[in-house]
Amino acid sequence: MGLPSGRTPDSRQLFDVIVVGSGATGGFVAKELTEAGLQVAVVEAGRNLDPARDFTEHTLPYQIKYRGWSPEIARTRPIQQRCYACMEYNYDWFVNDYDNPYTTVPGKPVNWFRLRILGGRSLVWGRQSYRLSDLDFKAASHDGYGDDWPISYADLAPYYDKVERFIGVSGAAEGVPQLPDGQFQPPMAMTCGEILLRRAAKEKFGRTVTIGRTANLTRPLNGRPACHYCGPCERGCITHSYYNSPTVSLAAARATGRLTLFTDAVVSHVTMDMNANRATGVRYVDRHTRAVRELRSRAVVLCAQSLESVRILLNSANRQYPNGLANSSGVLGHYLMDHFTGFGASGTLPMLETRPWAGPPQRPNGIYVIRFRNVTERHPNFIRGYGYQGGSAPEFNLQAGGFGAGYKEAVKRGEWSINLDGFGECLARWENYVELDKNVVDAWGIPALKINAAYGENERQMGEQIAIDAAEMLEAAGAKNIQLRRTMDPFGHAIHEVGVARMGQDPKKSVLNPFCQSHDIRNLFVMDGSCFVSIACQNPTLTMMAIACRSCEYLVAQARRGEI
């Protein structure tokens, strides 16, 4: 059976809040609001989830038909198959690209990876959980480009604390101001190669290499056992040892008895009472029957994922808001950002022994190199900065030739690899935007998005430095056979899309206020990555959840005063 909703769905009910989307932020918003006493409906475009059937982290390749890669993936998901997490084990979590089209501009390729299942991308995310600092929130004051966020680190720090304590984040405190420490569970251990890199980077360059800060438990939390290092987290976790929305935050919301879940419900519009300038609920299309239905609520919170939330707002245009709901500023859809990737370096560590007993368990985490560029001194060729994710482990020689004992010995004579991949900040630019493509609709008749986005010269200059710095750190650690990577991945490949409904104090220059409330419509909120003003270089999901947590506190206070 699937995960129960806690209450029987009733489309006639007037809910206190409708939350569109069930992923990292949608699940957290449902938890916060139901625990505050509100009746909440979560509306999810995908199907319900059955962990016993859908989670396959312990399934071995010989137990599935094509040993991990199905021809059905290429046939139905030509874009989704580019995502590292899309495989035979779970490809049906990802959208069918022909049912869910989007368009791009010639010469500007974009990868948009989407899941439609309860929990969304929280089921397959990389779980890297990093705080932003005031170097990020006040980046414009630091280098003069763009806009500062209307919030500071001090505003968000208590909510970072709350989220980390609830989801469970393992990591090591490093005392580096540009990457604030958090409420950590014990860190996972580094491998021998990673320890060599950490020492060399600190001694020769003053740079900090730390173990990844990951939403995988290293000790029990709220009935969830510690991670047992089975490895493939993108296929689910039957022990709930990493954070995902269905088994952690939605489970907490369900326990209140105030959650109602609507699955297979593809939201097309936010409905409005234009005389009162209030959102009245949402309209959705049943994924199977194509029947159109409406749900009613006192407030609406969009957490569908940045591009999907903005698509709903653009599609909800009316006489009062002809360019998209809550878009009197004209900013909606603009300033799309995603981390750029494709630059880094790799090598081998010949001084380390590669034997069967040298192989570590399948640690679901890597290492992280904390940003060191444009912190105290300005680089002459670019602004902002980057971090690295990577790791080092023994690799056995599976391509060895021969037979019998000789072959076995040859297989064991592998080598230690070491790798660093850069994640660079993409600047917020007006010209990176999305709009509705009036000539293309999805399988439910809803207009598709047209995405017009590309990286600029600042990213290209930064990318070159990312590769150079990675190589010099590997060389300092004693690496040999160093190979530099200098190929820009397509926009969207990092799966960190943010920024298309930015927050700000000025309603003429932003869509949302500092609490993710629409400037135009008081009972409409957007609590996913849409609100970002700049992207920084850290993975965004922890910050998204902390902002949602803060915004929920504000929403509840407003509701109790009768102001929404």
Q: pLDDT digits over 210-239, tens only?
A: 999 999 999 999 999 999 999 899 999 999
**Pair of tokens at residue 283:** 């309209």
Single out the residue of 383, 376, 378, 385 nearest to residue 339, CA to CA. Answer: 385
Single out the residue of 389, 393, 478 nearest to residue 204, CA to CA. Answer: 478
Mean pLDDT value across residues 259-278: 98
pTM of the full structure:
0.96
Q: Taking 70 as the threshold, does the pLDDT of residue 25 lie above it? A: yes
pLDDT for 3: 55
Q: Where does the pLDDT of residue 30 fall: very low under 50, low under 70, confident under 90, or very high at 90 and above?
A: very high
Q: pLDDT tens-digit profile of 192-204?
A: 999 999 999 999 9
Q: Taking 50 as the threshold, does the pLDDT of residue 1 lie above it? A: no
Q: pLDDT tens-digit profile of 363-399?
A: 999 999 999 999 999 999 999 999 999 999 988 777 7
pLDDT for 357: 59
Distance spanning both ends of the chain, measured CA to CA: 37
pLDDT for 359: 61
On whether the CB atoms of residues 385 and 459 are closer than 8 A, the answer is no
What lies within 8 Å, CB to CB, of 339 at 6+ separation is 423, 424, 425, 426, 494, 496, 535, 537
What lies within 8 Å, CB to CB, of 405 at 6+ separation is none
Mean pLDDT value across residues 468-480: 98
